[in-house]
């Protein structure tokens, strides 16, 4: 069938190259290409040639930890003492490789200048801060007697002072004479035997104690009568307390008779003893906390992290 169709001749293209109007599809694609080229050129015009970054300054080489410690200390002292101190270091340590960063050709010189600028800025900010109030008060002239009188007359009374809690000075209470603390690990049977024995000793005296010790020397229930036993101190304390109850010291009876009508005095003595024991416990806890804090601080120190700045040889 194709061989029967006639072949249509095509016109030759013009000599000037003008092919006439383009089809719609080619027009749309050409407009898109032109727009893309325009946007690309506009973006290239907006983008700057250099991009600012927020990273650290490029060009500073950080030295290793051992050299960095020397650089930091040197820059700190130079910032405080001035360039004359730097010149003295250069002269004193001319042959020391650890101080080569002072030379402008050294790769660590930029880091040294950077730390020096930081310490100088810190020194300037510290000098601009207000001085110590104690120094300012000492610099002011002392007020005269007339000035103090004028201030006293014009000064307003402080009404809030009466509402402030007064710090009470605690006096140590009297020693406890009738209180005996129980030792740890004592059984009920042992406590009854020791208390009953102490009461008989307090009533009958040391002669009864001597006879009881010699008679019950092989009895394990009375081994607390031996001075080497752990309960001997508890037994003697009980015996002394019972003796003071049976034969009270002079003046104690009159003191108790005076305290019976006024129970406020007894209550004040009890509160004073309570506050004294509480203050002693707080002081003991504070001392233990300080010791523990010091131990923690000592444990945090790395005793192997040090830098040998210079070695000194002593000739014999």
Could you state, in order of their start, the residue ranges of all structural domains in the chain? Answer: 65-126, 188-247, 253-298
Separation CA 259–CA 271 (nearest Å): 15
Residues near 76 by Cβ (< 8 Å), separated by ≥ 6? 115, 119
Q: 107: helix, coil or strand?
A: coil
What pTM does this model have? Answer: 0.36
Query: Are both 65-126 and 188-247 of the same fold?
Result: yes
Residues 213 and 225: beta-carbon distance below 8 Å: yes
pLDDT confidence of residue 53: 44
Separation CA 11–CA 8 (nearest Å): 10
- The 3-class SS string of 15-39 reads CCCCCCCCCHHHHHHHHHHHHHHHH
The residue whose two tokens read 């360039």 is 83
Question: Which two tokens mark 238?
Answer: 């009980």
Whole-Å CA distances, 105 to 91, 93, 102: 17, 16, 9
Burial class (CB in 10 A: 0-12, 13-18, 19+), 118: middle
Class of domain 65-126: mainly alpha
The tens-digit pLDDT sequence of the chain (316 residues) is 555 666 666 666 666 656 666 555 555 555 555 556 655 554 444 344 444 444 444 568 888 888 888 989 888 888 888 888 888 888 888 888 888 888 888 888 888 898 889 888 888 887 665 444 444 344 434 444 444 454 444 455 555 555 555 566 677 777 777 788 888 888 889 899 999 999 999 888 888 888 988 888 888 889 888 888 888 999 998 998 898 888 887 877 787 777 778 778 778 888 888 888 888 899 999 999 999 999 898 888 887 777 778 888 888 6
Count of Cβ atoms closer than 10 Å to residue 244 Cβ: 13
Separation CA 237–CA 177 (nearest Å): 9
Please tell me what DSSP assigns to residue 231: T
pLDDT confidence of residue 267: 84
The fold for domain 188-247 equals Arc Repressor Mutant, subunit A (1.10.10)
pLDDT confidence of residue 124: 84
pLDDT confidence of residue 58: 53
Question: Which two tokens mark 174?
Answer: 């009297």
Q: Which of 174, 229, 225 is nearest to 201 (CA)?
A: 225
Residues 61 and 54: beta-carbon distance below 8 Å: no
**CA torsion sign, 115 to 117 to 120 to 122?**
negative
Question: Which two tokens mark 215?
Answer: 């008679």
pLDDT confidence of residue 134: 45
Separation CA 30–CA 17 (nearest Å): 18
Separation CA 130–CA 122 (nearest Å): 15
Output the CA angle 282-286-292, nearest 5 degrees. 145
C-alpha dihedral (118, 119, 122, 124), degrees to nearest 10: -110
pLDDT confidence of residue 217: 86
Separation CA 114–CA 116 (nearest Å): 5
């Amino acid at each position: 069938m194709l061989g029967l169709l006639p072949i249509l001749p095509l016109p030759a293209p013009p000599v000037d190259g003008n092919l006439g109007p383009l089809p719609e599809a080619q027009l749309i694609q050409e407009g898109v290409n032109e727009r893309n080229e325009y946007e690309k050129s506009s973006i290239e015009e907006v983008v700057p040639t250099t991009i600012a970054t927020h990273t650290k300054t490029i060009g500073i080489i950080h030295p290793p930890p051992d050299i960095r410690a020397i650089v930091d200390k040197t820059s700190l002292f130079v910032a405080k003492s001035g360039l004359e101190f730097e010149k003295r270091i250069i002269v004193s340590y001319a042959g020391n490789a650890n101080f080569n960063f002072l030379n402008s050709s050294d790769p660590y010189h930029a880091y040294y200048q950077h730390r020096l600028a930081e310490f100088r800025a810190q020194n300037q900010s510290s000098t601009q801060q207000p001085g110590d109030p104690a120094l300012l008060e000492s610099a002011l002239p002392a007020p005269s007697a007339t000035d103090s009188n004028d201030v006293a007359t014009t000064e307003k009374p402080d009404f809030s002072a009466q509402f402030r809690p007064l710090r009470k000075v605690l006096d140590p209470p009297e020693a406890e004479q009738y209180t005996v603390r129980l030792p740890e690990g004592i059984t009920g049977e042992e406590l009854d035997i020791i208390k009953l024995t102490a009461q008989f000793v307090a009533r009958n005296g040391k002669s009864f104690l001597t006879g009881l010790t010699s008679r019950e020397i092989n009895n394990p229930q009375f081994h607390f009568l031996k001075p080497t036993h752990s309960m001997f101190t508890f037994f003697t304390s009980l015996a002394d307390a019972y003796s003071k109850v049976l034969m009270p010291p002079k003046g104690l009876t009159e003191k108790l008779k005076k305290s019976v009508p006024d129970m406020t005095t007894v209550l004040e003595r009890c509160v004073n003893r309570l506050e004294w024991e509480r203050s002693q416990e707080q002081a003991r806890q504070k001392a233990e906390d300080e010791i523990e804090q010091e131990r923690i601080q000592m444990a945090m120190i790395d005793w192997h992290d040090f830098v040998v700045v210079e070695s000194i040889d002593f000739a014999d």
